[in-house]
Chains A and B, each alone.
With several copies, the nearest count.
Chain A
Amino acid sequence: MPPDRDTLMLMLERMYRIRLFEETVIEIHSTGELQGPAHPYIGEEAVAVGACAALRDTDYIAGNHRSHGHPIAKGGDLKRALAELLGKQGGYCHGKGGSMHLADFSVGILGESGIVASSVPIATGAALASKQQGKDFVSLVFFGDGASNQGACHESMNLASLWNLPVIFLCENNQYAITTSYKNSVSVDHVSDRAPAYNMPGVLVDGQDAIAVYEAVTVAVQRARAGEGPTLIEALTYRFEDHSLGLDRIRKSAYRSEEEVEEWRKRDPLDIHEEALISTGVATREECDAMKSDVVVLVAEALEFARESPYPEPSDLFEDMWADPIPAP
């Protein structure tokens, strides 16, 4: 089912948001303003945006260390996200989480996670809850090609299949885990080839094409809401930047060639989506540019907000540890 015009435009806007957010992050990292770790999502925007456009606010997502694209795609707030990256009180987690731990439970973002594959069981559990509670909420987890080799993925997919849970396993196969090619870490041609091992559908989709991702996820969402169980989707994509900011020690070319990177840059998901919209008359180039300009302002405002947001107070250190507090030991 192709997305309607509003959805297509929303997708475009969210792709701009992610791209410009990440560009800002790279910039403030290069100046030293941002010091913590950050893993840019540039090049992969179509995956998160296509997927989240197929979800409702009440649906759940969980993610990983490459952590800015997912929450923004799900409707997270740029201000609070950027404030979090700067460790500020106004951040999503009051500065406690930083880049790798963005979360916004109010729109179903159950959190990004720094330990690779660790949120796969979590998302499976949210789907279990949904079923137990008689709700039709779907749970979707983003994980990488590298993550797919973790036992937690195997166990979760097996559980989800056995219990027929409304969960979507969305593998962002950007072809590398830091420097390791998935050809040296995944023993089959495609992660989605493992779906039959769990008796669930496996779908391989072009991860540079937001509409293709949207359509694949929509089918999986329908299945999940209808009580027909989980789906494994592999979106083939590419990370345009370094694994993480500050990891310049590993030069791109040492494990992937400049040519390969250039080849993939030609398939920029933003270009592909813009062209799809323009060529089908959904939007004009001018409309796209205008939208982008608006997002530039949004991101600039977010940066301003983040900068102005105060740091947490020392007394905040002990806040947020316990829901039912206990005395200090």
Chain B
Amino acid sequence: MPEMTYVAAIAEATREEMERDESVYLMGEDIRQSVYGASAGLVDLFGEDRVIDTPLSESGFFGAAIGSSLVGQRPIVETVTSFFWVGMDQMISQASKMRYMFGGQATLPVTWRARMFYARGAAAHHSDRNYPVFMNCPGIKIICPTNPYDAKGLLKTAVRDNDPCILFEDGIAISSRGEVPANEDLPNGELLVPFGEARIVREGTDVTVVGVAGGVAHAEAAADVMAQEGVSVEVIDPRTLVPLDKKTILKSVEKTGRLVIADPAHKVCSAASEIASIVAEEGFWSLQAPIMKVASEQVNIPYSPALEPLVYPTPERVVAAIRETLS
């Protein structure tokens, strides 16, 4: 199977969807010059009407994307997680609420693709891992691809989905390479990954580790370490947080009796908190040990390379948590 980078997978999905459907267009800052790497060449293929460079106006152009989606367009909006705060009102008050408050009249097939920089010295203003915020507000589907295959398949699904979606392009995952099947090798001729289906990254019997976004890589690394000690770790990547495939998680905990969650979001009210609370309610009787959250420390993100790595989950912290659940 051909290998490609995460960013190339995003670019390929975008191109395919734009080819397939005229109503799909891309909008964002400096996308014609492809500042974030995933839109190179698109303006030559699709023209300036469908590859739109915007001014620095996140309320204005997020809202314009939403408005256009109300009347038949399917915008993909490229931005950075930290700039969500600037356009937040359009995302929450409008995108997430319009359909419901208009009694189902509004359909909003708008997709945000947001680069989630962190762990690279970007400092507090550019390191937001804010998917928990959107999880709390109903009305937007939350996608966290952690490898090129899922990035391509989930983005294509998001573009076709008729609800607002946000794709969080994880700062750790974006540097990954991986296998992505060529379309001609696929039964349906295209790669579509469904929402709400977790991926069991590896099966195991002693402990369940759910990795969220960049946490998946740490979970895998930790599983490697534990394997050497004869501990069998089941690693689960939910892939989408809204909808969340809680069945797969609960089933795994039923088997292992132990749960660790690795989530790079700030730990308070995180995806890890949510998953822990679900299992503490619905999977309680399977549990043989405390549920361990390995999430970011509750501080802002420091710039210094001497400090920043101390904030996030690491394979070592996941290993320590696994050990604790086993002790």
Contact = CB atoms under 8 A, between A and B. Distances in A.
Note whether A and B contact each other (Cβ less than 8 A). Answer: yes
Interface of A: 35-37, 60, 62, 84, 87-88, 91-101, 103-105, 110-111, 113-133, 137, 139, 146-147, 149-152, 154-156, 158-159, 162-163, 177-180, 184-186, 247, 249-250, 254-255, 311-314, 316-324, 326-329
Interface in B29-45: 29-30, 32-35, 37
Contacts of A185: 54-56
B137 interface: no
Interface of B: 23, 25, 29-30, 32-35, 37, 49-50, 52-73, 82-83, 85-86, 89-90, 93-94, 98-109, 121-126, 138-139, 141, 161-163, 195-196, 242-244, 246, 267-268, 297-300, 302-307, 310-311
B297 A317 contact: yes
Closest 4 CB pairs of A and B: A121-B63, A125-B67, A155-B60, A98-B303
A14 to B, nearest CB: 22
Contact of A124 (B60, B89, B101, B102): B60
A158 B98 CA distance: 24
Contact of B123 (A36, A127, A139): A36
Given A321-B299, A323-B163, A149 B69 contact: no
Contact of A126 (B23, B60, B68, B304): B68
Most buried by A among B59, B70, B138, B304: B304
Contact of A159 (B55, B73, B105, B122): B55
Nearest to A126: B67
A150 B56 contact: yes
A246 to B, nearest CB: 10
A1 B89 CA distance: 39
Given A128-B67, A180-B30, A254-B33, A115 B82 contact: yes
Contact of B107 (A121, A130, A323): A323
Contact of A101 (B68, B108, B161, B303): B303
A101 B305 contact: no
B interface secondary structure, majority: loop
A186 B33 CA distance: 19
Nearest to B303: A98
A179 B70 contact: no
A58 to B, nearest CB: 10
Nearest to A86: B304
A98 B82 contact: no
Contact of A97 (B25, B50, B123, B299): B123
Nearest to A97: B101
A223 B152 CA distance: 42
B102 A129 contact: no
A35 B101 contact: no
Contacts of A178: 29-30, 33, 35
B60 A35 contact: no
Contact of A151 (B59, B103, B122, B141): B59
B121 to A, nearest CB: 4
Contact of A95 (B34, B82, B162, B304): B304
Contact of A35 (B121, B161, B242): B121
Most buried by A among B25, B49, B93, B302: B302
A122 B66 contact: yes
B71 A129 contact: yes
A92 B69 CA distance: 20
A190 B35 CA distance: 25
B67 A124 contact: yes
Given A114-B123, A132-B25, A322-B99, A186 B55 contact: yes
A317 B63 contact: no
Contacts of A133: 23, 72-73
Contacts of B100: 96, 320-321
A126 B71 contact: yes
Given A317-B299, A321-B139, A328-B298, A123 B307 contact: no
B109 to A, nearest CB: 8
Contacts of A116: 56
A126 B70 contact: yes
B207 to A, nearest CB: 24
Contacts of B244: 329
Contacts of A96: 100-103, 123-124, 300, 302-304, 307
Contacts of A247: 35
Most buried by A among B23, B34, B125: B125
A322 B163 CA distance: 6
A152 B104 contact: no
Contacts of A139: 67
A132 B35 CA distance: 24
Given A96-B100, A321-B100, A156 B307 contact: no
A159 B102 contact: no
B56 A317 contact: no
A185 B32 CA distance: 14
A122 B97 CA distance: 13
